[in-house]
Amino acid sequence: MTDVLDELHWRGLVAQTTDEAALRSALAEGPITYYAGFDPTAQSLHVGHMVQLLNMRRLQLAGHRPLALVGGATGLIGDPRPTTERSMQSRDVVAEWVERIRGQIEPFLDFEGASAARMVNNLDWTGQMSAIDFLRDVGRHFRVGTMISKDIVARRLQSDEGISFTEFSYQVLQGMDFRELYTRYGCTLQLGGSDQWGNLLSGVELIRKTEGVAAHAMTSPLITKADGTKMGKSEGGAVWLDPELTSPYAFYQFWLNQADADVVKYLKVFTFRSREEIGELEQAVAERPFAREAQRALAGDLTTLVHGQGATDAVIAASQALFGKGELRDLDEPTLAGAVAELPRTTAKAGDLLVDVFVGAGLVDSRSAARRAVAEGGAYVNNVKVTSDEQELTAADLLHGRYAVLRRGKRTLAVAAAG
């Protein structure tokens, strides 16, 4: 239990701590109880949330006890964003999202044994509290001058829109959560992202004032790419943990496509691979970048962690089959759908001339170009070579009755979807 803080530092996962020497001592004397909170401001967590989920798991593996808080109360408000007010969701929607996110958190933690995790919901202690009790018992411990000096609040106050009292009160609610978890479970450490530092300190200070105890806070840095931009978004938007929002295939491809300049850092942050394993992969990046061994390790580890080994195996099989190294007909429909989701596409039906389908998909510029591709042996449907420029798309070509994978040459792909 004494090495976990050094491990987090090595992985680049410590941005700020309240008192590192005191925290190190508490961890060494442990086990301690700690928590991280996840607000249901969307129906799914995204890859950015994985930093705290994995930090929780690392501390649990070191013998400490995690509390995973899903904010059924704070999710009704949402923490302030840098620019504009959040759109509030109905209570029913937030309650549904709470259950979805609980299910996404559970695979990351162990809920049995001496260091068993516990799932908690701040609506349990906030929902029945009156406004008078909130103001008398909690609000009186917070100073407005301190609250408005918090970075996110200060920025919103300087904006044209300003900030509502609702979002302004978020830091009080989060501080109350920390104190409640201290009194209920002896929780003395809160984890969060560096953008949450002010909110974490609110809880530390509330516990000090009301309980006379020195609690701890620790943040992780915002994970960025080598060019300084924020990690966690693809061209289509956020990369979600929910397979209905981001398919396992797209999830795998997101990690596989990480740049050589970023992949070693991401292996440290997002995987449980040892220093030796990561060192070997770092050497592979330097010596054999074309092989993308580090990216494959990263993509495989994370897809298995989030979606399971079966999904990873299916994704790899789909990747190979798209380029003729496997049988497309063996892929189940969700995997195939995920594999072709980002490909250029056209609508087609049985009986359409394949030369027209290839033109419609943008694989060639014209019918004459399509005929040349066929004559040169460079046109394929579901990895089967097209042998005649009079050949038609058949019902059997539409896999699962929906998709035909088109290929020109070795690597130029598109999909014809039944329409």
How many beta carbons lie within 10 A of that of residue 89, not counting itself?
18
Q: Could you tell me if 319 and 339 are in contact, meaning their C-beta atoms sit under 8 angstroms apart?
A: yes
Q: How far is it, in rounded angstroms, from Cα 56 to Cα 189?
A: 11
82 upstream amide cis, omega within 30 of 0: no
- Dihedral sign for Cα atoms in the order 23, 25, 26, 31: positive
The more confidently predicted of residues 149 and 40 is 40
Helices (H), 34-90: 50-61
H or E segment at 219?
strand 216-220
Q: How far is it, in rounded angstroms, from Cα 120 to Cα 394?
A: 54
Model confidence pLDDT, tens digit, residues 84-95:
777 888 999 999
Q: Given this structure, which CATH class describes domain 233-331? A: mainly alpha
Model confidence pLDDT, tens digit, residues 356-365:
999 999 999 9
Please state the residue numbers annotated as binding site: 35, 170, 174, 233
* pLDDT average, residue stretch 182-208: 95
Q: How far is it, in rounded angstroms, from Cα 371 to Cα 159?
A: 60
Cβ neighbors of 168 (< 8 A, separation 6 or more) are 80, 147, 153
- pLDDT-derived band of residue 224, with 50, 70 and 90 as boundaries? confident
Q: Which SS3 state, helix, strand or coil, does residue 35 take?
A: strand
Residue 148 confidence (pLDDT): 86
Which residue intervals of the chain bear CATH 3.40.50.620?
A: 4-220
Please state the residue numbers annotated as binding site for ATP: 233
Residue 3 confidence (pLDDT): 87
Which residue intervals of the chain bear CATH 3.10.290.10?
A: 345-418
Kindly indicate whether the domain formed by 345-418 is annotated with CATH number 3.30.479.10.
Answer: no
H or E segment at 216?
strand 216-220
Q: Could you tell me if 377 and 294 are in contact, meaning their C-beta atoms sit under 8 angstroms apart?
A: no
Please state the residue numbers annotated as binding site for L-tyrosine: 35, 170, 174
Residue with tokens 């609110």: 202
Residue 150 confidence (pLDDT): 81
Q: With 50 as the cut, is the pLDDT of residue 1 above it?
A: no
Which residue intervals of the chain bear CATH 1.10.240.10?
A: 233-331
Residue 366 confidence (pLDDT): 96
pTM above 0.85, yes or no: yes
CATH architecture of the domain with range 4-220: 3-Layer(aba) Sandwich (3.40)
Q: Could you tell me if 336 and 318 are in contact, meaning their C-beta atoms sit under 8 angstroms apart?
A: yes
The mean pLDDT value of the chain amounts to 93
Q: With 80 as the cut, is the pLDDT of residue 82 above it?
A: no
